[in-house]
Amino acid sequence: MFPESNTGYSFEDCQATADWLLSQTAVRPLVGIVCGSGLGGLADALKDQVAFNYRDIPNFPQSTVHGHAGRLVFGTLKGRPCVCMQGRFHLYEGYPIQKITMPMRIFKMLGVETVILTNAAGGLNQDYKVGDIMIIKDHLNMPGFAGNNPLAGHNDERFGVRFPCMSDAYDRELQQMALDVGSELGFSDFLREGVYCVLGGPSFETIAECRMLHKLGADAVGMSTVHEVIVARHCGMRVFALSLITNKAVMDYDSEEKANHEEVLQTGKQRAEQLERLVSTIITRLEHNNNYA
Ligand code: HPA
């Protein structure tokens, strides 16, 4: 499974998985979507679906968390060929970080140019409300500070360079497009832009941790996305990411609020339809070769 010590799947392993998928479907996706907790409905919106359970895809990791279906769905969204991960992999499930991010390399090998990621997150910014949608403009990679980066270990230059730039990780043009589309759809009241901080989980943050993360410049906190973004950027795909604020992070010792997974899933359900409209409208405006009309 990990032929080059513990550094992940080889280029050839990824190629074999991508080739297998390409032999099973005629869809040639230009957009790759990763659905967060409770946000898997985006995959259901795809037309002419060809879907694979993760367990049936050679080399593919399996998803275990409640609320994640574990299917790779190919199809078209208003005529645009897409591939969608319905359910993703997390550090807290115990996977090596290379396994969590391996699907990004498969996306690249399938021909994907733009990756769109969604997640559920706790709001640290005191102006944020539950149900807000945050366009991610930057991230804080806390596991990365401790040496847990998906690119650690041997670097195969066929994927990307040894030291990839991350100051342009989140595509500015796509952020602006999301603001424009959000405004056209009447979403401006709950659309935000901010910094996402990833932690390993699965325990939610303490009050002291939330206060610290907020002071460090994070607007929202969660347990996903950043690792995938790093690997997607490493292999040259364009990235756009959204957080659905499903709960307010507890910042105050007098607060009676407690973060819980049911609340996260419930908020996802309520705002999911609007988030899906935002993403699908963005996709219809994407042009081939990374431009947008
Ligand atoms: N913290 C971490 N991850 C989360 C949260 C949170 O408050 N809400 C949804 N995912």
Whether residue 205 is annotated as binding a ligand: the answer is yes
Distance of CA 165 to the CA centre of its chain: 19
Active site residues: 37, 68, 90, 92-93, 120, 223-224, 247, 261
Please give the distance, rounded to the nearest whole angstrom, from the Cα atom of residue 290 to the centre of ligand 1.
31
Residue 73 has what pLDDT? 96
HSE-CB at 95 with a 13 A cutoff on CA atoms is 23
Atom of ligand 1 nearest to the CA of 259: 7
SS3 track for 51-94 = EEEHHHCCCCCCCCCCCCCCEEEEEEECCEEEEEEECCCCHHHC
Q: Can you tell me which residue has the tokens 């993360």? A: 213
User: What is the chain's mean pLDDT, rounded?
Assistant: 91
Spatial separation of the C-alpha atoms in residues 46 and 49, rounded to whole Å: 6
Instruction: Classify domain 3-284 at the CATH superfamily level.
Output: Nucleoside phosphorylase domain (3.40.50.1580)
Helix (H) and strand (E) counts for the chain? 8, 9
- For 24-49, b where at least 16 C-beta lie within 10 A, e where not — what string? ebebebbbbbbbbbbbbebbebbeeb
Tell me the per-residue pLDDT of 86-115, one tens digit each, with 9 for 90 and over. Answer: 989 999 989 899 999 999 999 999 999 999
| Residue of 239, 33, 255, 51 lying closest to 136 (CA atoms) | 239
Q: Where do we find the tokens 């968390």?
A: 65
List the single range of 29-43, 132-146, 166-180, 253-267 with lowest mean pLDDT: 253-267
Residue 264 CA: nearest ligand 1 atom is 9
Report whether 269 contacts 38 (CB < 8 A).
yes
CA of 246 to the centre of ligand 1 (A): 8
pLDDT in tens, 23-41: 999 999 999 999 987 788 8
Q: Phi then psi for 150, rounded to 5 degrees? A: -65, -15
The confidence band for 7, taking pLDDT boundaries of 50, 70 and 90, is: low
Tell me what pLDDT residue 3 has: 44
pTM of the predicted structure, to 2 decimals: 0.94
Asked if residue 49 lies in contact with residue 69, where contact means CB atoms within 8 angstroms, the answer is no
Q: Whose CA is nearest to atom 3 of ligand 1?
A: 222
Q: 247 labelled as ligand-binding?
A: yes
Q: For residues 29 and 112, is the Cβ–Cβ distance under 8 A?
A: yes
Structure confidence at residue 292 as a pLDDT band (50, 70, 90): very low
Q: From ligand 1's centre to the CA of 122, what distance in Å?
A: 4
CA of 151 to the centre of ligand 1 (A): 24
Please state the domain extents for the chain: 3-284
Instruction: Ligand 1: list residues with CB < 6 Å.
Output: 120-122, 204-205, 221-223, 246-247, 249, 259, 264
The token pair that represents 147 in the structure block: 């040496």
Q: Is 241 annotated as a binding residue?
A: no
CA atoms within 13 A on the CB side of 172: 3
Q: Which tens digits make up the pLDDT trace of 46-77?
A: 999 999 999 999 999 876 666 556 899 999 99
Residue 88 annotated as lining a ligand binding site: yes
